[in-house]
Structure 1
Amino acid sequence: MEGDTREAVGEKFSLDAMQHAREQSMEAVRRIAARIRPGMTTEEATADATALLKDMGMDRIWHPTLIRFGDDTLKRFSDRADPTRVLGEDDIFFIDIGPVWRGHEGDAGDTFVTGTDPQRRACADAARALWHEVSERWRSERLGGQALYAFAEQRAAEMGWRLNLDIKGHRVSDFPHAIYKAGKLGDFSACPSVGLWILEIQIAHPDQPYGAFYEDLLY
């Protein structure tokens, strides 16, 4: 069975510990966002985020802390952000962190806005809403990863946004999950098990140079 190898875990794996890592990571995203202000550069915000994670007692990071301002919100995980980009008074940004807590991998991301621009706010809200709609489909219909992302693409278009299908979710576990070579959630045909997969949603505005991102553990 595909899931037998791609959903393997270590001897120390615990669903309770995964839930703790999830909660800590989501709380960290909220705290980081509260400290980001217009006039900060990407480099300054990232350094501040790293300091906060250390203060919160993370073990280490398993992926680099990413903060994207403005049109950098359209970039993929592997794309380098401009460290000198300055957050504007009427702007959009997202946070993506990958800390390890108690030997288990957290991964959380969310999008925030400065100012009152309704389109930017709608974009941030849409990424969250789409994530919750897709995750509810996973819970209610037990769809596989490929079907979940097909549904996400369809719903994003119906909502008026473009889904970035280069960003398709991934495994997490007791550190390090990479040894299992599980690939992307969007390429996983089986129904993903509880507490093992991160559902990622990245959307773009249909004609403006910005987007939004949201991710969380399927739990």
Structure 2
Amino acid sequence: MGVQWAARQLERHQVNTGSKEAVGGKFSAAAMAHARVMTWKAIEQIAAAIRPGMRESEATAQSKSILEALGMDRIWHPVLIRFGENTLRIFKERSEGDPVLGADDIFFIDLGVVWNQHEGDAGATFVTGSDLEMRRCARDAKIIYDEVAIHWRSTGCSGKALYAFAAARASAYGWRLNVDIKGHRVSDFPHAIYRAGDLGDFETVPAAGLWILEIQIAHPTRAFGAFYEDLLA
């Protein structure tokens, strides 16, 4: 996933400058692509540094040091690292306690970071041991994301239709989609001034390079889930 490839993908689509897809004067598709690449680089480094026996709070503190070392501008949404049962909790919910990561466990990382004045936002799930259902859950969150992104590219459907499709795909794999997580805007910092609402409520076709597709799934009977998000590009 190089910067040039990502920039070409963004430039294939013309950005709608309406109120829900507005961008600032410093917006650059190449800079958005760079923010995406750097955020994934950070996730890879943070995941590699998380070990069984570590507490959630320790992993979060360590992640901030890694982000600073990579040269971030700032964090635009709080770093979210969830262990075990806390993988079922959505962004707005606090973790339950400060759990220790087990040797046969699951965790996810959710980063919102500004690089060169543009917002990166990405997240992924990881497994520490050999639990087959945990491994499948982490894998399927990424598979469902990919299928939904392909559906967007091939059909040009609305954001609302994308999440209906995502729920159907999650069910087909045996998981429950958390419908309270519906994706959101990103842009040159800060995107929040545009008040775009959730991707899952967006009634028209979302433009490339401006929306984060979030997928959070839950096991139907066990107390864990998985999360994956990335830029639609």
TM-score greater than 0.5 by the shorter chain: yes
Contact 1:131-1:201 at 8 Å conserved across structures: yes
Question: 1:46: which partner in 2?
Answer: 60
Instruction: Give the alignment partner of residue 65 of structure 1, picking from 79, 85, 88.
Output: 79
Q: CA RMSD in A?
A: 1.0
Matched, 1:112 2:121: no
TM-score, scaled relative to structure 1: 0.98
What is the Cα deviation at residue 91 of structure 1? 0.2
Matched, 1:128 2:128: no
* Offset from partner CA, 1:46-67 (integer Å, 9 cap, x none): 0000110010000001100000
Contact 1:170-1:184 at 8 Å conserved across structures: yes
Question: 1:141: which partner in 2?
Answer: 155
* Offset from partner CA, 1:16-38 (integer Å, 9 cap, x none): 00000000001111110000000
Which moves more between the two structures, 183-192 or 78-87? Answer: 78-87
Question: 2:18: which partner in 1?
Answer: 4
Q: How does 1:1-219 map to 2 (within 5 A)?
A: 4-82=18-96, 84-219=98-233
TM-score, scaled relative to structure 2: 0.92
Contact 1:43-1:83 at 8 Å conserved across structures: no
Q: Distance in 1 between matches of 2:203 and 2:76?
A: 25
- Provide structure 1 residue ranges, at least 5 long, that are not aligned to the other structure: none
Structure 1 residue ranges, 4+ long, deviating more than 4 angstroms after superposition: none
Q: Distance in 2 between matches of 1:82 and 1:210?
A: 13
Q: Distance in 1 between matches of 2:38 and 2:17?
A: 27
Contact 2:185-2:212 at 8 Å conserved across structures: yes
What is the Cα deviation at residue 83 of structure 1? 5.2
Contact 1:18-1:173 at 8 Å conserved across structures: yes
Q: Distance in 2 between matches of 1:172 and 1:41?
A: 30
SS in 1 for 2:214: strand
Q: How many residues align?
A: 218
Contact 1:36-1:45 at 8 Å conserved across structures: yes
Letter of the 2:113 counterpart: P
Q: Distance in 2 between matches of 1:193 and 1:183?
A: 14
Query: Between the two proteins, what is the percent identity of the paired residues?
Result: 61
